[in-house]
Amino acid sequence: MSQYTIMVDLERCIGCKSCEAACKLENGVPMGRYRTKVMWVNPQGGNKLYFVSMPCMHCANPACKESCPVGAITKRPGDGIVLLDKERCIGCRYCSWACPYGAMGFDENNMVADKCTYCAHRLAREEQPACVTKCPGHALSFGRKDELLARASSEGRKQRDINIGKAGPSTFYLERLKP
Amino acid sequence: MDGTKLTRRSFLKATGATVAMAGVASSVAGASGAEQAKTHRPYTEGGIAPVSDKVVTSGCMWCQSGCSMKVHVQGGRIVNIYGNPDDPVTEGRLCPKGQNNVNVLYNKYRLKAPLKRIGARGTSESYQEISWEQALTEIAEKLKTVKEKYGPEAFAWWVAGRSESQARAGLTGTFEKLYGTPHREGTGPFCNFAGSSASNSILGHNNPPWTYTRDDFGGADWYMLVGSNMAATKVVTFGMVNDERIKRKAKLIVVDPRMSETGSRADVWLPVKPSTDMALALSMMYHIVEKNLQNNDFINSKVLGFDKLKAFLLEKKYTPEWAEKVSGIPAKTIRELAEEYAKTEKAIIMGNAGLSHHTNGHHTHRAFFMLAAITGHYGKPSMGYASGNAGATPVGSISVPAEKEVKPKRQRLGKSPVAWVEPMITGKPYPIKAFMSCCNPLVQWGDHERVVKALDNLEVSVYYNMYPSVETLYFDYILPVSPWAESGGLGPVSDERRNVFTPQIINPLHQAKPERWIFIELGKKMGWGDVFKDEYKDPVVLQRAMSKKNGFSPERFFAKKDGALRGPLPTPDAPEIGTLYTEKNGVPGKKGQFPRPSGKIEIWTEELEKAYKVQGLSPLPEFYADPEVGMKDGLPYLEYLDDDTSEGVTSQLIGKMRALRVKIKQPAGPELSGFDMYLTTGKPSAAHFGDGTHWVGTLQEQMPDQYCLIHPEKAMELGIQNGDTVKVMGVKGEFTAKAWLYEGIRKDTVFVPNSYSHKQPYSQWKSINSIVNKDKRCPISDQTNYKGLVCKVSRA
C-alpha cells in the first residue's frame, strides 16, 4: 500500500481558514462542525504566531477504527484513507474519544460520526481534496506519502513529530523555519 | 465521569476482535472511490457537493484582489465555487470569502422586498413592505422635490459597497450628471484614498506599479509591509508572496503594532506605535541622504525636488534616534533597513489601511513614495512603493448628452461622505437633504448619534443592500439588492488594476433586483428614459455600451480564460500592460513615464508647494501624529482651522472640492491624561469584509467575536483574563470586546477589529467606530482617523 497524505507546511500556512471553508462547501459540513479545522497558536515566549490546519490524520493504526464497536471505520487498502460507513455507525462516539487528534466530528442531525475522507469522491474523479486545491498559502500538498516526504527532505525541511502512542499519523507537518 | 470513561474504554478493548473482522468486510466493499459512492450513504446529511452540470467563469464580489472563480452550477443552483487555475494571479486559489459567495446568495437573512419606514426610526416594526413601483416612484418624486427646493447639490450618494462595479461605474455617474450633484463617492475615503491621492501627487497616477504575479510582486528579494495585514486582506496574493519568500529566501519585514497573520511570517516584526509610521520613512530617508546612499543617476534623470527634500530632512533632524523616540522602532534597526533597502534593487515596500486611516495618511504615503523614489525603486518589475486598494482604472460609463448635463453651481463639500453629516444637520455651508447609500454609515462613520440626527433632518434617505444591517432601522426606504451571480456585471477592481466580468448565472432571489435594474428604473422615473435604456438591464449590453471608447468590451472579457482584464485600456484595442511606470509602458493613456506635468516623480515643485499651502501644509512631509496620540504624548498634531460647516478652501490636489485648512501644532508637552493605551484596528481575519460577511454563518464562525488583543502583562496588571469581556473607553465613548491575551502586541496598545455591529445575527457588539471622531480626518485625502486613538481598558 502506498499511503495518501496531506503535507501541511507550517511556514506556508497563513491562517486564512480557506481549507475549512472549502471542506464545508464540498462536503456539506454545516456551521459549527468541522472535518478540518485551523488552530491559531498564540505567540509565546518569543515564538511567533502560527497556524495548524488539522484534517484527519488517516493514521497507520487508526484509534478511531480500533475503538469502533461495529466496524464502521475502515482503512482503505491501496491508499490508506480511513473511511466511515455512516450506515453502520451507531453514533456511540467512541471514535471521537479515541482519536488523539480531535479529528472525528459528530453529525448531530443523523446521530452519526463524521470525518474527513481526503475527499475520496474527488480522488475517484482524479481531483485533489477541496482544501488542498483552494489553499491560498500553497501550504497543503496532497499525494503519496513517500513522494511528499522525499520532496520535503530535498527542500531541507524538518518534519514535526506529532505521533501519539502507536497511531502513526499519515498527515504530516513541516516545521517552521524559525519558531 | 472517569468511571464511565474507563468502562467504555474497557468495552472497546473487549470488542476489538469484532471490530477487526467487520473492518475487513467493509474495506472490501469500499475498494474504490466510485464504488464507495454507490454502496455507501453520502458522507454527510447535506451530501457531498453534486457533480456540476455547468461551470461558469466569474469573479469574486468582495475585495480588491479581483479573484477569478469557477462557479459550479447544478440544476440552476450554485453548488460550489472553486478557484480558476487559468488565472495567473490566483493560480486557482481562493480565500474563505470567495468560496462563501455561495452562502451570500442562499442566505436566510437576505433582504427580500422593498421596505418603507412608516414609524419612528430604530425599530423594524416601523417598516412595511411596499412594491418596487411604489418605492421607486416615491423616491424619484422626493429627489425631484429636493432638487427644486434646495438645488441639485443637496443630493448625496454613497455608491460604495460590495455589490457590483459595473452599475456603479456605468450608471451612477450618469445619474449624478443628469441630476447635477457633485456629491457621489465610493469607498476610497474609508479604504486607501490617502494612498491613491499621494500616488497621484507624486507619480501622477493612482495605481501601484506592480501586478500580483510571481514575476512582478512575487519576485522581490526584500519586502517591507507597513500597516498591511496582507494575509487577511489580500489573502491569495500574500500566500503567493510567502511561498516565494520561502523558495527564494527573500526577506520580509512587517511594520505593525501587533504581530498580525502577516507579521507572523516576517523575518523582522517592528511593533510601531500607532500613527507614527511616517517617522520610519523620514528617518530611513535621513540615514540614506546622510550616508549618500541615494540613487543619484535615477534622481538626476527622473526625480524633481530631491535637494529640497534633503535640506528639509537635515533641517528637521529626522534622525533614526528621533524616530526611535517617536515610533519605538530602534534607531539601529532603522539604519540597517535603510541600508538594505538602498542596496537591494528588487525591493518592495507596500502600505495599506494601517497608514491610510490616520490624519497624516496622505503625507505618510508620500514619505514612503519619496523613499522609493530617491533610491531608484521605480521602472522595473518587483520594486517600488505603493498603497493597496489605490483605486480603479476607468472602465467607461453611459455618456450624457451635453445639453442634458447639469453642472453643479456650488462646490462639493469634502471628499469623504462623512463630511456630509454636518451640512445635513446644520444646513451649513449649504444643506444636503437627500441621501442614498449602499454602505453602512451607522457602522463605518464615527459619531453615530450625529449620523442618526443627520438622517432625521433629511427629506429622503434610501439604503440598498443585501442584508438587514443597522441602516435598515433608520433609513426611509430599504431596497433589496441582488449581488454578483444574480446580477452579473463587474467584480471590484483589484489593487493591480484587474476587473473580472461576472455573468448573470441565476435569477434574482426573492424580490431583490440588481443595482443596474434599480438605477435604470429610478432614472426612468426621473424622466431620463432616453439615457437609462431598458436594454442596459442586460449586463453584457451595458458593458458593450460602456466600452465604446475603451478596451473593456464583453468580447475581450469573454476571450480571456480568467474573464479578467487589466487596465488602463484607454482604447478598444489597447493591449493589457503589466508593470507600470517603466520607460516603455509609463501609464497607458497618459503622458510620460511618470504622468506628472513634468513627466518626472515630483517630490517638490513650486506648483505643489502652492497647492499644499492652500491648506496650510507642504509637499514635504512634516511629521505630525494623530490628535489623540499627539495630545497624549506631546507630539505634533493637527489643529483644524475649518470644520464641515465651513466654506473652507478649494482643494488643489484631489479635484475641485471644499477642503479644510489646518495648522501643525507643536504642543509644549502632554495635553491629555487618563488614557494609558493606544487603540488600533483592522480586519478581524481573512473571513471578514465590512458588514456583509457577518451575515454568513460559515464566515462568522471563523472569527465570531469582536476581540481585544491585549498583552498578557498589561492584562495581568488590569486583572483581565483570556475571554473576559472588557470595556474599552476612548475620548468619545466606550465599547466592549472579548479579551484575547496575546504576546504579539505592544504592551501599550490594544487591537480591536472593525466591522462588527450590534445588529448582526450571530453576535452583537457595539461598533468600535462608535468612539471614532468623524471630524478628525486627513486634510488632503479626507480619510477618517480610525487608527491611532487613545483608550483605557478594564474588565466590563
Asked if B185 and B323 sit in the same domain, the reply is: no
Q: Which helix (H) or strand (E) holds B546?
A: helix B539-546
| Lowest-confidence pick of A21-25, B157-161, B255-259, B422-426 | B157-161
Asked if B215 and B155 sit in the same domain, the reply is: no
CA distances (Å), B789 to each of B229, B269, B710, B767, in order?
Answer: 19, 22, 15, 15
Domain with B721, as residue range(s), is 677-795
Residues sharing a CB contact under 8 Å with residue B709, sequence separation 6 or more, in sequence order? B258, B740, B742, B744, B745, B750, B751, B752
CA distance B47 to chain A (A): 5
pLDDT of residue B48: 72
Please state, in angstroms and rounded to a whole number, the distance separating the CA atoms of residues B518 and B480.
Answer: 10
Q: Residue B1 above 70 pLDDT? A: no
CB B435 within 8 A of CB B117: no
Q: Residue B43 above 70 pLDDT? A: no
pLDDT of residue A43: 97
CB B406 within 8 A of CB B177: yes
CB B556 within 8 A of CB B500: no
CB proximity under 8 Å: B 670-699 to A: 685-687, 697-699
Mean pLDDT of the region B235-242: 98
Measured distance between the N- and C-terminal CA atoms of chain B, rounded to whole angstroms: 34
What confidence category does residue B161 fall into, taking pLDDT thresholds of 50, 70 and 90? Answer: low
pLDDT in tens, B580-595: 999 999 999 999 999 9
Asked if B241 and B379 sit in the same domain, the reply is: yes
Asked if B246 and B383 sit in the same domain, the reply is: yes
Please report where in the chains the cell 479579551 appears, as a residue. B739
> What is the torsional sign of CA B51, B56, B57, B63?
negative
Please state, in angstroms and rounded to a whole number, the distance separating the CA atoms of residues B463 and B470.
Answer: 11
Could you tell me if A16 lies within 8 Å of chain B, comparing CB atoms? yes
The chain B residue lying nearest A178, using CA atoms, is B267
Please state, in angstroms and rounded to a whole number, the distance separating the CA atoms of residues B285 and B338.
Answer: 7
Asked if B699 and B763 sit in the same domain, the reply is: yes
Please answer yes or no on whether A133 and B23 come within 8 Å at the CB atom.
Answer: no
Please state, in angstroms and rounded to a whole number, the distance separating the CA atoms of residues B266 and B222.
Answer: 11
If one counts every other C-beta atom within 10 angstroms of the C-beta of residue B582, the result is 16
Whether residue B669 is contained in a domain is answered as no
Q: Residue B776 above 60 pLDDT? A: yes
pLDDT of residue B162: 59
pLDDT of residue A23: 97
pLDDT of residue A179: 87
Which CATH number do you get for residue B789?
2.40.40.20
Which CATH number do you get for residue B470?
3.40.50.740
What confidence category does residue B163 fall into, taking pLDDT thresholds of 50, 70 and 90? Answer: low
pLDDT of residue B684: 98
Number of A/B CB contacts below 8 angstroms equals 219
pLDDT of residue B65: 94
What confidence category does residue B47 fall into, taking pLDDT thresholds of 50, 70 and 90? Answer: low
pLDDT of residue B553: 97
Whether residue B88 is contained in a domain is answered as no
Mean pLDDT of the region B42-61: 74
Please state, in angstroms and rounded to a whole number, the distance separating the CA atoms of residues B463 and B524.
Answer: 19
CB proximity under 8 Å: A 120-179 to B: 120-121, 123-125, 130, 133-139, 177-178
- Ramachandran bin of B441, using left for φ above 0, alpha for ψ from -120 to 50, beta for the remaining angles: alpha
Please answer yes or no on whether A133 and B235 come within 8 Å at the CB atom.
Answer: no
What confidence category does residue B533 fall into, taking pLDDT thresholds of 50, 70 and 90? Answer: very high
- What is the rounded average pLDDT for all residues in chain A? 96
Could you tell me if B102 lies within 8 Å of chain A, comparing CB atoms? yes
pLDDT of residue B228: 98
Please state, in angstroms and rounded to a whole number, the distance separating the CA atoms of residues A78 and B300.
Answer: 68
Q: What is the DSSP letter of B559?
A: H
pLDDT of residue B51: 79
What confidence category does residue B31 fall into, taking pLDDT thresholds of 50, 70 and 90? Answer: very low
If one counts every other C-beta atom within 10 angstroms of the C-beta of residue B142, the result is 20
pLDDT of residue B656: 93
Please state, in angstroms and rounded to a whole number, the distance separating the CA atoms of residues B208 and B228.
Answer: 15
A117: chain B residues, CB-CB within 8 Å:
43
pLDDT of residue B764: 98
Q: Residue B22 above 80 pLDDT? A: no
pLDDT in tens, B397-446: 999 999 999 999 999 999 999 999 999 999 999 999 999 999 999 999 99
User: Would you list the DSSP string of B150-187?
Assistant: H-GGGEEEE--SSS-HHHIIIIIHHHHHHHT-S-EE-S
pLDDT in tens, B663-690: 999 999 999 999 999 999 999 999 999 9
Choose among A92, A178, A170: nearest CA to B268: A178
Please answer yes or no on whether A136 and B45 come within 8 Å at the CB atom.
Answer: no
pLDDT of residue B258: 98
Q: Residue B44 above 60 pLDDT? A: no
Asked if B130 and B152 sit in the same domain, the reply is: yes
Whether residue B73 is contained in a domain is answered as no
| Lowest-confidence pick of B52-56, B301-305, B543-547 | B52-56
pLDDT in tens, B81-113: 999 999 999 999 999 999 999 999 999 999 999
Asked if B230 and B340 sit in the same domain, the reply is: yes
Please answer yes or no on whether A30 and B47 come within 8 Å at the CB atom.
Answer: no
Q: Residue B50 above 90 pLDDT? A: no
Whether residue B71 is contained in a domain is answered as no
Count of the separate structural domains present in chain B:
4
Which member of A25, A45, A86 has the closest CB to residue B102? A25
The chain A residue lying nearest B267, using CA atoms, is A178
Asked if B32 and B152 sit in the same domain, the reply is: no
pLDDT of residue A165: 85
Asked if B276 and B171 sit in the same domain, the reply is: no
Mean pLDDT of the region B177-184: 98
Q: Label residue B366 exposed, middle or buried (CB < 10 Å: 0-12, 13-18, 19+).
A: buried
B31: chain A residues, CB-CB within 8 Å:
76-78
Q: Cα dihedral angle (A115, A119, A124, A127), rounded to 10 degrees?
A: -170
Residues sharing a CB contact under 8 Å with residue A3, sequence separation 6 or more, in sequence order? A58, A60, A79, A80, A144, A145, A146, A170
The percent of chain A in helix, strand and coil, each rounded to the nearest 5, is 20, 20, 55
What confidence category does residue B37 fall into, taking pLDDT thresholds of 50, 70 and 90? Answer: very low
pLDDT of residue B56: 96
pLDDT in tens, B710-741: 999 999 999 999 999 999 999 999 999 999 99
Q: Residue B353 above 70 pLDDT? A: yes
Choose among A114, A78, A76: nearest CA to A95: A114
CA distances (Å), A110 to each of A49, A73, A91, B44, B558, in order?
Answer: 37, 17, 9, 9, 44
CB B239 within 8 A of CB A135: yes
If one counts every other C-beta atom within 10 angstroms of the C-beta of residue B717, the result is 11
Residues sharing a CB contact under 8 Å with residue A70, sequence separation 6 or more, in sequence order? A88, A89, A90, B18, B19, B22
pLDDT in tens, B112-150: 999 999 999 999 999 999 999 999 999 999 999 999 999
CA distance A77 to chain B (A): 7
| ipTM of the modeled complex | 0.98
What confidence category does residue B36 fall into, taking pLDDT thresholds of 50, 70 and 90? Answer: very low
Q: Residue B17 above 60 pLDDT? A: no
CB B568 within 8 A of CB B588: yes
Could you tell me if A116 lies within 8 Å of chain B, comparing CB atoms? no
Asked if B152 and B206 sit in the same domain, the reply is: no
pLDDT of residue B23: 30
Q: Residue B8 above 50 pLDDT? A: no
Whether residue B661 is contained in a domain is answered as no
Mean pLDDT of the region B197-226: 98
CA distances (Å), B346 to each of B222, B335, B383, B553, in order?
Answer: 7, 19, 5, 35
Q: Going from the N-terminus, what domains does chain A have, and what CATH number goes with each?
A: 4-174 (3.30.70.20)
Please state, in angstroms and rounded to a whole number, the distance separating the CA atoms of residues B776 and B35.
Answer: 65
Asked if B272 and B302 sit in the same domain, the reply is: yes
pLDDT of residue A1: 80
Please answer yes or no on whether B239 and A14 come within 8 Å at the CB atom.
Answer: yes
If one counts every other C-beta atom within 10 angstroms of the C-beta of residue B663, the result is 13
Q: Residue A99 above 50 pLDDT? A: yes
pLDDT of residue A36: 97
pLDDT of residue B496: 96
CB B305 within 8 A of CB B602: yes
Percent of chain A with pLDDT over 70: 100
Q: Which helix (H) or strand (E) holds B384?
A: strand B384-387
Q: Which helix (H) or strand (E) holds B716?
A: helix B712-718
Q: Residue B9 above 90 pLDDT? A: no
Asked if B450 and B533 sit in the same domain, the reply is: yes
- What is the rounded average pLDDT for all residues in chain B? 93
pLDDT in tens, B617-662: 999 999 999 999 999 999 999 999 999 999 999 999 999 999 999 9
At B759 the three-state DSSP class reads coil
